[in-house]
Amino acid sequence: MSGEPGKPRPKNRDVSGWVVLDKGVGMTSTHVVAVVKRALNAKKAGHAGTLDPLASGILPIALGEATKTVPFVMDGQKSYVFTVAWGVETETDDAEGRPVQATHTYPERAAVEALLPRFTGLIEQVPPRFSAVKIQGERAYDLARDGETVELKPRQAQIDRLTLVAHSGERSVFEADCGKGTYVRALARDLGRALGCLGHVAALRRTRVGPFTEDDAVVVGDLEGSEAASVLRPVETALGDLPSIPVPRDMAVRLMRGQPVILRGRDAPLSGKIYATCGGVLVAVGDVERGELVPHRVFHLGAWPA
């Protein structure tokens, strides 16, 4: 990816789409974005949902116009496979932090399984002290690293599925499907406390983010010498849960100017959020209000087919 010595790098390009990266352990999310951006010579890039350095798995990277669809991906459901090490609680609620309490006792499988319904559905959890939650404008992890006492308020989290898939006494492996803002580290910590043995995340892998799964993923090595078309997924992939409607060129022009258009036809939606295409090219995302599509995001993805 560095190119030949002395050879100037190609200029950054207007590249738009999604790269679904399978992040390895040890890499920060920010570093991964920089790697993808550099590999594809892209002008603009961002990610949809931070993964801790010790975590692996799906990290969707938005390039160019796809950055406008990041909120739709981040609002989607996420799936994880994670291992909890019982008997010790750490300051970071994972294996990276120093131990702060220990019981060195381990739960029976039946006790773990009996507890899971309490942590399924809409629950409350206190984010880890070492998290990106802001307290009076400061990140919690910055305050914690400075030795300050961090008091975080409980917040709601939606756990749609929590399943025990393996148990060996000292460790348990779980699968979880959860909503935006859920902290798996907090879930492990709270399971340990409820069982009376304490616990922390020993391994964590994210297997799905919104519409993106492991089947869609590439690794950093796949980007070496890749053409953008071979690894990029369309911008509208992020909008998979929204209905779409094709519009003619004159309506597309109005939408691109930020002007609403009247939707006609038997199949035209009467309300809700949708996206519009022209000749198969994404034009805008917006809300249908009283038969009009009001654009909130417009996309510059090249010329529309005639």
Residue positions annotated with a catalytic role: 52
The whole-angstrom separation of Cα 89 and Cα 103 is 9
N-to-C CA span, the chain: 37
Percent of the chain that is helix, strand, coil (3-state, to 5): 25, 35, 40
Cβ neighbourhood burial of 201 (10 Å; 0-12, 13-18, 19+): buried
Which residues 6+ apart lie within 8 Å of 164 measured at CB? 109, 112, 113, 116, 172, 173, 174
Q: Report whether 209 contacts 60 (CB < 8 A).
A: yes
CA 57/CA 256 separation, integer angstroms: 36
The answer to whether 191 and 84 are in contact (CB under 8 A) is: yes
- 225-253 in b/e form (b: 16+ CB < 10 A) is ebebeebbbebbbbbeeeeebebeeebbe
What whole-number distance in Å separates Cα of residue 164 and Cα of residue 173?
6
Residue 155: left if φ>0, alpha if ψ -120 to 50, beta else—which one? beta
CB 77 within 8 A of CB 175: no
Residues 6 or more apart from 252 whose CB is under 8 A from it? 276, 278, 283, 284, 304
Spatial distance between the Cα atoms of 55 and 82, rounded to a whole number of angstroms? 9
